[in-house]
Chain A
């Protein structure tokens, strides 16, 4: 803010019209293709529909009442919850472990980082297609399991209730590990080397270094990773959409695949919009709550250490 005066020192520079001209293309496009459709969906959820034609008359909140009694939505939320469980309790800890191993000057760290990150530069739809083959055919996952002597745990991954819910969520977790490894690696490399040297002078072993230097150093990033894990899990859909379409019998549905199904298969545009609005609001509320909670936690932790 202190720089503000210096830039607009010359009269006429930074006029309102000039600023508006700079903002117009970006803000205009954003308003038209992001804000406007979002607001439309809010309206779509409370107006009357007749044969896929909007009748612009307020119809009340009965779509929202329906949300409360929707068993499929509940199942879908269950799968988003599973996505979060895998993300928060498998992907993030594994990424911390891998990034720690890489940060301790492992040979070929660049190579490993590359391999881990590759799923994140590939299209989710194509990865989902690959995983669909890996899951359903004898030559995929099942062949690997047989090879390592775990043939007994072979299951119908994409059709059995109780298994499909986890199987459809796993590839997303698999892809995310590399993403978070890169993030944590960056955070770890920004920890000053002096902290490690000081710990070594105090006679700390590798384990104590991890506990007292590495983990505290990535605490803030780890918390924002957890917030992003919540939002990301709420928005997961591509693997379910490509591999099972939410089936069998909605067992692997997520909120987003259920929304897509309601909107474009059942053509129930009012309720479909309601589901989308619900997801948006839930995500906003959750991330607000968590970030407030996390910041508080972070502050108190910093007070302690």
Chain B
């Protein structure tokens, strides 16, 4: 340790100090990048939340400061006067329904795709992956016309079904890949014992696929809660406005009392954030899987 008497030791120690300093500096550089972008990414949210508790003039006079007093009344106004409460309930309803639809539609298709060979399988996979590239605009007008004919126009259950169909390419892609990777022993034993397709699916494959089902549902829920353009074009009456659409209708009404609008925005984004906090692992896995294997 104390080899300072020799030149070599001195050199080594100086080298150690220099490399330590270099390491510190590179650490500092890394952290400044991380914090810098953290500020950029977080600032709009900080600003939104702080402003949502202020009076309008206070937003102007001290944009960065905490509110002098927390005006929860902005939230009450948003929830009641601006009908955000109703809209959020409706959005929740559509979101839950679409989650259920998504699980039913994607798990059955994925079971068939992952377990059997049949004629037209390649074609079907091709059609499904085409869905990754279909822009929303190409479907909007035909859907708006056709949904009136089949009774899903201005209908929240219909909207939920359309949401599940929209996400089927992603959902079935993820689930099929997961099911293909499952061990087959249990299934084969059950088949030998005379179990039919439905029983094998329901009692073995589906329970084993739970992790992938959670991921799929998570993405479906985030999508459905936030979806805007389909909801805008396929609903008409006030009773069927979901939160993202209804929010836009509030802009004119609350343009001068904008902290109420901010409070409504917070209500709109909080569920997604909480959901993400709880299911972070699944989201991260799904994002990675989709990006690593997708396209």
Q: A residues near B, CB below 8 A?
A: 1, 3-4, 6-10, 13-14, 16, 18-19, 22-23, 25-27, 29-30, 32-38, 40-41, 44, 94, 97-98, 101-102, 104, 106, 110, 112-119, 121-127, 129-131, 133-134, 137-140, 143-144, 147, 174, 177-179, 182-183, 186-187, 206, 220-221, 224-225, 227-228, 231, 234-235, 238, 241-242, 256, 259-260, 263-264, 269, 272-273, 275-277, 279-280, 283-284, 287, 291
Contact = CB atoms under 8 A, between A and B. Distances in A.
19 contacts: A7-B115, A7-B191, A8-B116, A9-B188, A29-B161, A33-B162, A33-B165, A37-B142, A38-B142, A41-B139, A102-B34, A112-B34, A123-B225, A134-B47, A177-B41, A182-B288, A186-B288, A228-B295, A238-B229
A87 to B, nearest CB: 14
Interface in B35-59: 37-38, 40-45, 47-48, 51, 59
A252 to B, nearest CB: 17
B131 interface: yes
B102 to A, nearest CB: 10
Contacts of A287: 133, 295
Contact of B172 (A26, A122, A284): A26
B48 to A, nearest CB: 6
B292 A221 contact: yes
A23 B161 contact: no
A140 B47 contact: yes
Contacts of B71: none
Contact of A27 (B115, B124, B197): B124
A240 to B, nearest CB: 12
B8 interface: no
A73 B225 CA distance: 31
A284 B129 CA distance: 11
A143 B62 CA distance: 9
Interface residues of B, number: 99
Interface in B142-201: 142-143, 146, 161-162, 164-166, 168, 172, 184, 187-188, 191-192, 194, 196-197, 201
A102 B30 CA distance: 8
Interface string B266-295: 001100110111001001110110011011
A7 B291 CA distance: 30
B64 A123 contact: no
Contacts, number: 281
B137 A228 contact: no
A272 B234 CA distance: 17
A299 B252 CA distance: 55
**Which residue, of A36, A129, A272, has the highest number of chain B Cβ atoms within 10 A?**
A129
A26 B106 contact: yes
